Amino acid sequence: MNFLYCPLCFDFENPEDSKVLHCEILDHLKNFHGKDKNIKDKKIQCYHEECIEKRKKNHERLGKEYKRWGTGFSPAGLYGHFRTFHKNRNNLNFQNTIAMDTDFIIENNIIQNIEDEVDETDEIEEILLNNEAEENLKYYERELHSKREINDLNELINFYKNEIFTYFNETPGAEIFFKNILTLIRRLLIVNTPKIVKDALLSIEIEDIITKAKNTVESFKIVHPDERIIFDTQTDSSETKEDKNLFYFIPIEKSLPIILRNMKAKPKKNVELIIYGDDLQGNNPLGSHIYSGSLFHMAYKVNLPNDLIASKKSSQLKNIQTIGISLSTISKETKYQYLIQTILEKIRKAKVYYNGFCLNIIIKAFIGDHSYLQDAFLLNKAYSSTSNMVCRSCKISGNSYLEYNTCSAANSHLRQESPNPIIPFPLNQYSDSFHDILEGIIPNLIYSLCQKFSFPQLTSESEENHDVLPIFWHPIELEIRRFNKLDKGSQSLSTVIFDGFFQKYTKIDRPDSKHKFHLSGSENLALARALLHCMTKKELFPNVSESVYQLGVNLLKDILAIYSIINGKIELNNEIINRMEVIIDRFFRNFFLLMPRTMCTLKLHSLLHYPVFAKLYKNLSLVSTIRCESLNRHIKYLHNLSCNHINPSYTVVKKVALLLILSSATN
């Protein structure tokens, strides 16, 4: 069989009469059989002869045990099976990415919308098979043998622009991209197409788009003109000196109208922006180009509170726009001060026009992790609870955090002005739930609980009792994986929590240390939910003291309840905020009954200020950095594509500008 078929539509009696797939298999299963890719039921069987023969052999070998193991695939498993064992089929990657209801259908080496016969079928198939799906393109599935003549030039131009946009996203820098686009057009012109198709291809001015993108990118020095930078000759190569001193950016007046148009925002005068900043490492930290891969990234997303349709699109990755990028070497040393000051001034003075309105831009929030925000607000970065770590929201120092262990006590010492006059008040009243809870409190709590469960003889301050048997983790690990599979929306832990995971990563020599398992934020959340479920079964924890066990249950319940309130995509009213404050106070009371005083860090202390943040921002999920962290991965991807170690920040921003302009041209 040279083509792939849907296993649920396949006619086993008359295989030749089966219909060939003309869309991505997961889309077909979802649209025509109601089977989403996340469904766990393994009931879909592969129809290929070699797979049928393999099932027969396994059935003969295993007998009844074969039914217990399952005889089919889930939708996602079927897709992986096709990719692994049937990747040579002609239509494996074929997807209908044609916009404007255009149909290009391959069947038996025939292109249905081209009337003339073509001999160069290998080139044609290669062109169509290389078209990868883009998240903002809409896919269609058509019936077999459908024909449609395209006689509108603008329609064809729009289609080819979409194809070029998709192709460009997989190619490195601008010059190489231009050559690749010309190559693609020549390959498309191999087909004996009508004159209107050739006119559409030749009318697309790629060079003008590249020139426009280059002219879109601007730059300024990231240090004050009166300051001088002394470069380290041992670590700084001469080629990168100039680039290290520049911040390359896309002016807000050029990017914001495109983003608003993509969001289909209603015309209005006031637009709120959420400004994000973070340092990222694009290269291998152990490689020779570590300095050229350390980038500082600024971005923004739009908040339109009175526009429900546009607000739902504000957190989509394509609507979170990069402002600019610089190398972190100098920006970190200067604590981003002149850079932030210049960007905020440019945003305030920008004259942005959208649908006849000159927009009034309001900076709603200034978000990032603690490391970046402490530098931005000129505050200390010492994360020990005994240090002089000063909170951005209040005037309480780190060595006094334990004295203010309720929301009302901590919020009675709030700052009435910003620690840094460059960033106006109340933008300092902020802390990120992703870094505080998912990467701070929850993993520390889980690790400490597992330490105390593994070594119950160390939970008491009395003399060690070495006769107490340790906990048996294997049934708990099995129950965690079982529950996680049924926990819809949670990150999969099937390969993360392997047999022997807890025994391997818990240490008897540090039962109370500030440590955590090396998991992502979403994995920490999934593990906390699964562990709480396991703790409802007391028989899994036979040797754990009742006080430790009950405190662990209460702490996990409270922190998960707090995060669900914070992460809910709704506006928080006074009733919900008051309930959240009660849960936070209770969590703090129980926390230090189980945990040492050294665990009172800035992340934990910031939890006391979340009722204030909720009243200020209303919807706390809006100011979370989770989606912006996803944009960081996209920037790393573009940086790795460029392979530029001389001026990487300029290359990446230029690529972002090209994507933005192409998005505007095809919208």
Mean pLDDT, residues 337-342: 92
- Model confidence at 8: pLDDT above 60: yes
- Report the C-alpha dihedral over residues 559, 456, 519, 599, rounded to 10 degrees: 60
Contact present, 615 and 577 (Cβ < 8 Å): yes
Look at 315 and 480; give whichever has higher pLDDT.
480
- In this structure, the strands spanning 270-281 and 360-367 are parallel
The mean predicted confidence, pLDDT, of the chain is 77
Per-residue pLDDT band for 386 (boundaries 50, 70, 90) equals low
Determine the pLDDT at residue 507. Answer: 74
**63: alpha, beta or left, given left = phi > 0 and alpha = psi -120 to 50?**
left
Determine the pLDDT at residue 478. Answer: 92
489 contact partners, CB below 8 Å, separation of at least 6: none
In the chain, DSSP finds a helix count (H) and a strand count (E) of: 28, 10
Percent of the chain with pLDDT over 90: 27
Determine the pLDDT at residue 87. Answer: 61
Contact present, 407 and 611 (Cβ < 8 Å): yes
Give dist(CA 325, CA 347) in Å, integer. Answer: 16
Whether the upstream peptide bond of residue 426 has omega within 30° of 0, thus cis, is yes
| Measured CA distances, 252 to 109, 138, 174 (Å) | 48, 28, 22
65 contact partners, CB below 8 Å, separation of at least 6: none
Residue carrying the six token digits 């997303």:
301
Per-residue pLDDT band for 152 (boundaries 50, 70, 90) equals confident
Contact present, 430 and 363 (Cβ < 8 Å): no
Give dist(CA 510, CA 107) in Å, integer. Answer: 64
Give dist(CA 309, CA 313) in Å, integer. Answer: 7
DSSP line for 340-365 = HHHHHHHHHH---EETTEE-EEEEEE
DSSP line for 143-185 = -TT-------HHHHHHHHHHHHHHHHTTS-SHHHHHHHHHHHH
DSSP bridge partners of 296: 279, 326
289-298 pLDDT, tens per residue?
566 668 899 9
- Model confidence at 533: pLDDT above 90: yes
Per-residue pLDDT band for 249 (boundaries 50, 70, 90) equals very high
- Model confidence at 457: pLDDT above 50: yes
Element (H, E) at 435: none
The model's pTM is 0.71
Cβ neighbours of 543 (radius 10 Å) = 13
Across 121-125, 264-268, 485-489, least confident range: 121-125
Give dist(CA 252, CA 300) in Å, integer. Answer: 10
Closest C-alpha to 98, from 122, 131, 68: 131
